[in-house]
Structure 1
Amino acid sequence: MTIEAPERIVEFPALKEAQEGLDAKRADLKKIFDEAGDTYDMSKVKSIQGDTTAKVEFIRQLNDEITERKAKVDELMILARAAGAAKEAEEVERGDRDVKDDGRPQTKDGREQSFGQAFMASQAVKGYVRGSGGGPQATVEVSLKTLLNTGGWQPETTRTGRIEEFPTRPAPHIANMIPQTPTGQTAVVYMEETVYNNTAQEVFEGEQYPEAQLKLEEKSVPVRKIAVYLPVTDELFEDLPRAEAYVNNRLPFMIRQRLDLQILRGNGTAPNLLGTENVPGIISQPKGADPTMDALYKAMNRIRTEGFAEPNVVFMSPLKWEPIRLLRTADGVYIWGHPSQVGPATIWGLPVVETTAAPPTKALMGDYGNFAELAVRRGMDVQISNSHADFFINGKLAVRADIRVAVVHYRPTAFAEVTGL
């Protein structure tokens, strides 16, 4: 199917008012930190009355209000997108837009099947003939944004049934933040307005009109493949519940884990995806001598003023978020709450996703909800064979899986990196 620009948004006064209120509160908080200086000395803050404890409590309340206002803006954005979707639905009814069902498999009660259920019901499993050397191919449609529950082995008489999995980065943190759409193409092709010269101005009667300039360029983001294979024994494969749990856990997890990394840091050189960090034209904000919080705020404002977008998430390494969470005033009061309290994982009202997939010396942020897209050419493609190496004579099977996706950043200036962390 043809991939169009991201979902349409219908703007209305309530959304604009909520956004302006959020920006005002953010400015109030920034003013307080500017007064406190690099040492966070609350005695220098004259815009708030009271001692240090009172001032820190005021900051907490202000931060909570920013978080609430951001949630309200997000709610109104959902309404704006819904209004846009309604307009698109009208276009579909008039025949102006072609929409196809993605055909994702469901259970009898209408719920979407897990990968393991879809895999065990696929032709790849049902059509496999032991000893044939190769197996049939099957495409299993599964959402890349859903982290399936870990199962493990069924209990046995001699052990608890628990498998302590190898400690590794969880997934998917990043894919959850990006709209996912199906595509039937080998690339996502769209038009980008690269020149916008607005010369509109007032003219006298009979005077020549000023000439404006617009230029469109075709952009193409290729679909790439992420793949992995897993060797299993004949006995494991014949035991359907155990095979389902095993495949349901590890193969999709490995692919999603790699996808998370590629979304943020892929270098775009085939066969890699093009991740946010390496998208040409994104805003780069150096930390320099600024506190990290100030540098993040400056990057957010540059997205608003240069990209005319509203960032909706910040991706940071846990080690870089740690000093922010542990910030204290000059006399030792924790700014983001006492250690016994659950601190907000937000900064200037934006949710912070702590992930080791983020660059170790950078923070990445952007309006992923409106100007990014995860286009899925197909879900997990599964094939089974015993023809690999000596698998036939050793009673082993090779189960391989892959996906084909494209990550699109429609407006580079809707994204930013904060460097030098």
Structure 2
Amino acid sequence: MMTKTKLADLQTAALKATEAARQIAEKADADPSTWSEQVRSEYDAEMKKGRDLLDQIKVAKADLAVLDEAKGLAAEIGQPAVDDIESQGQRPVRERVKSLGLQVVDSQAFKDALAPYKGAPIPERSRFQTDPIGMKGLFVGGTDTSAGAFVVNEQTGIVETLGRKELTIRDLVSVRRTGSDAVEYVAQTSHTNAAAVVAEATSSAAPTAPGTAGALVLNPNGGYKPEGSWAYERKVANVKTIAEWVPATKRALADVAALEGLINDELRADIAETEEAQILNGDGTGENLTGINAWSGIQTQTFSTDIFESIRKGITKARTVGRVNPNAVVVNPVDAEKIDLAKDLNGTYRYGGPQYMGGRTVWNLPVVESETQAAGTALVGDFQKAVLWDREQTTVTITDSHADFFIRNMVAILAEERLAFAVTRPTAFVKVATA
């Protein structure tokens, strides 16, 4: 708070600055146009200091005049108001911010109302009125006695969740639609390739009967073509349901518009995470899907030297036995880290290093990270040979018809999806040990 002592200090400092400027001018040449750059700079600095202090002096005088007027008004109000005005100079800045009296007398609206009287006492019968004075200090403070109880929290709408794993597998497999609860497909179980070079027939003799019961004996010069064999099996993938529900109050749904959407999104994400877990690791028991890693007939590759050699051997098996061109390698982030940090004998990162901007690949196959894939095992294969049939995409239903929810003003929010899954060619996949 400005006092007469502080005003005097400002005046003293201003006189000192102007005196310094005068002395500089007297020592220099009489013609200012011939002053050196240094003299001009020193003179200008002192004059600027004096002008700045003069501005502060004007403000200080105005403040003191306002306080004197406020004290006169407070005297008419009574002793408590006088004490409040007098005590402003002794209160810490933090407390002065909260003071109602100081905010009134220091406001521009109060100063404008006093301006017509030009510092003279307000006539007894004069009408005195200010514009509305904002009392922000009433609602700001660090103590319970500074009106902090009136603070109302602002609702930002931000809801920070715990975060989720990235889901990548659904984008790899073949996704189709179905309108049935069971999906039928045909898988080839064996294939004998008997194709061979055949000489032209040189004999028209018919097959002869064997000496004992058995197949007819073909004439070796008859030009007979070899017979191959294929075997197929009809298989069925049953539609299964993945579902989850959570309780909520009707008040929460009504009062927080974003809550319903948040719950819907979280439920859908829960369903999607479980779906990926089923596609990769479902064990086929009960209502579980049978995932790729648990599917009967997929190939395996033991660890060989390092993760790169092991994956390469897995690729060979997928091509030579599964008769596919693998399109991805699925690994846990732990194994992806091994790939990224691998160095050659010269200490150089084998796969581009931290500044590499391209997609991560191993043996020209894209590396796909999935936390659902177990660490220590990579899955190599043609993921189009795994098919997901959507029977009913994720839906969300809200109802109060659950237990006693109706009389408790609560609702159950249910999300579910129905799907079937099958690996149509198991040998197209190879589980590779990476350690």
TM superposition score normalised by structure 1: 0.59
| Pairwise CA distance, 1:219 | 1.1
Does structure 1 residue 158 correspond to structure 2 residue 154? yes
Does structure 1 residue 360 correspond to structure 2 residue 356? no
Structure 1 distance, partners of 2:187, 2:377, is 27
Structure 1 distance, partners of 2:423, 2:195, is 30
Does the 8 A contact of 1:276 with 1:409 survive in 2? yes
Of 230, 239, 249, 2:246 maps to: 230
Change (3 A) 1:388 1:248: closer
Does structure 1 residue 312 correspond to structure 2 residue 308? no
Change (3 A) 1:331 1:382: closer
Structure 2 distance, partners of 1:257, 1:158, is 34
Structure 2 distance, partners of 1:198, 1:234, is 67
Per-residue CA deviations over 1:110-157 (Å, capped at 9, x if unaligned) read xxxxxxxxxxxxxxxxxxxxxxxxxxxxxxxxxxxxxxxxxxxxxx96
Structure 1 distance, partners of 2:407, 2:421, is 42
| Pairwise CA distance, 1:393 | 3.0
| Pairwise CA distance, 1:270 | 2.3
Q: Which residue of 1 aligns with 2:192?
A: 197
Does structure 1 residue 351 correspond to structure 2 residue 351? no
Tell me the amino acid that sits aligned with residue 306 of structure 1: V
Q: Which residue of 1 aligns with 2:345?
A: 330
Describe the SS at the equivalent of 2:387.
Answer: strand
Does structure 1 residue 182 correspond to structure 2 residue 177? yes
Structure 2 distance, partners of 1:386, 1:320, is 47
Q: Which residue of 2 aligns with 1:167?
A: 163
Q: Which residue of 1 aligns with 2:267?
A: 251
Of 290, 294, 297, 1:274 maps to: 290
Describe the SS at the equivalent of 1:230.
Answer: strand
Does the 8 A contact of 2:157 with 2:258 survive in 1? no
Structure 1 distance, partners of 2:316, 2:196, is 28
Per-residue CA deviations over 1:5-40 (Å, capped at 9, x if unaligned) read xxxxxxxxxxxxxxxxxxxxxxxxxxxxxxxxxxxx
Q: Which residue of 2 aligns with 1:394?
A: 408
Q: Which runs of 5+ in 2 are unaligned?
A: 1-151, 202-221
Does structure 1 residue 219 correspond to structure 2 residue 219? no
Tell me the amino acid that sits aligned with residue 160 of structure 1: T
Q: Which residue of 2 aligns with 1:130?
A: none
| Pairwise CA distance, 1:294 | 0.9
Tell me the amino acid that sits aligned with residue 242 of structure 1: A
Does the 8 A contact of 2:193 with 2:229 survive in 1? yes
| Pairwise CA distance, 1:394 | 2.5
Change (3 A) 1:374 1:239: farther
Counterparts in 2 of 1:24-63, with a 5 A limit?
Answer: none
Structure 2 distance, partners of 1:189, 1:243, is 41
Structure 2 distance, partners of 1:300, 1:343, is 22
Identical positions, percent: 34
Q: Which residue of 2 aligns with 1:404?
A: 418
Structure 1 distance, partners of 2:353, 2:226, is 61
Structure 2 distance, partners of 1:352, 1:338, is 15
| Pairwise CA distance, 1:401 | 1.5
Q: Which residue of 1 aligns with 2:428?
A: 414
Q: Which residue of 1 aligns with 2:100?
A: none
Q: Which residue of 1 aligns with 2:48?
A: none
Describe the SS at the equivalent of 2:160.
Answer: coil
Does the 8 A contact of 1:336 with 1:343 survive in 2? no
Per-residue CA deviations over 1:60-95 (Å, capped at 9, x if unaligned) read xxxxxxxxxxxxxxxxxxxxxxxxxxxxxxxxxxxx
**Number of residue-to-residue matches in the alignment:** 263
| Pairwise CA distance, 1:332 | 2.3
Tell me the amino acid that sits aligned with residue 157 of structure 2: G
Q: Which residue of 2 aligns with 1:263?
A: 279
Describe the SS at the equivalent of 1:393.
Answer: helix
Does the 8 A contact of 1:181 with 1:373 survive in 2? yes
TM superposition score normalised by structure 2: 0.57
Change (3 A) 1:210 1:340: closer
Q: Which structure has the larger Rg over C-alpha atoms?
A: 2
Does the 8 A contact of 2:395 with 2:416 survive in 1? yes
Tell me the amino acid that sits aligned with residue 400 of structure 1: L
Tell me the amino acid that sits aligned with residue 194 of structure 2: T
Does structure 1 residue 291 correspond to structure 2 residue 287? no
| Pairwise CA distance, 1:189 | 0.9
Describe the SS at the equivalent of 1:315.
Answer: strand
Does the 8 A contact of 1:315 with 1:353 survive in 2? yes
Describe the SS at the equivalent of 2:242.
Answer: strand
Tell me the amino acid that sits aligned with residue 156 of structure 2: T
| Pairwise CA distance, 1:198 | 1.7
Does the 8 A contact of 1:265 with 1:359 survive in 2? no
| Pairwise CA distance, 1:333 | 2.1
| Pairwise CA distance, 1:396 | 1.0
| Pairwise CA distance, 1:227 | 0.5
Change (3 A) 1:200 1:342: closer
Tell me the amino acid that sits aligned with residue 228 of structure 1: E
Change (3 A) 1:332 1:203: closer
Q: Which runs of 5+ in 1 are unaligned?
A: 1-155
Does the 8 A contact of 1:336 with 1:344 survive in 2? no
Describe the SS at the equivalent of 1:176.
Answer: coil
Does the 8 A contact of 1:374 with 1:406 survive in 2? yes
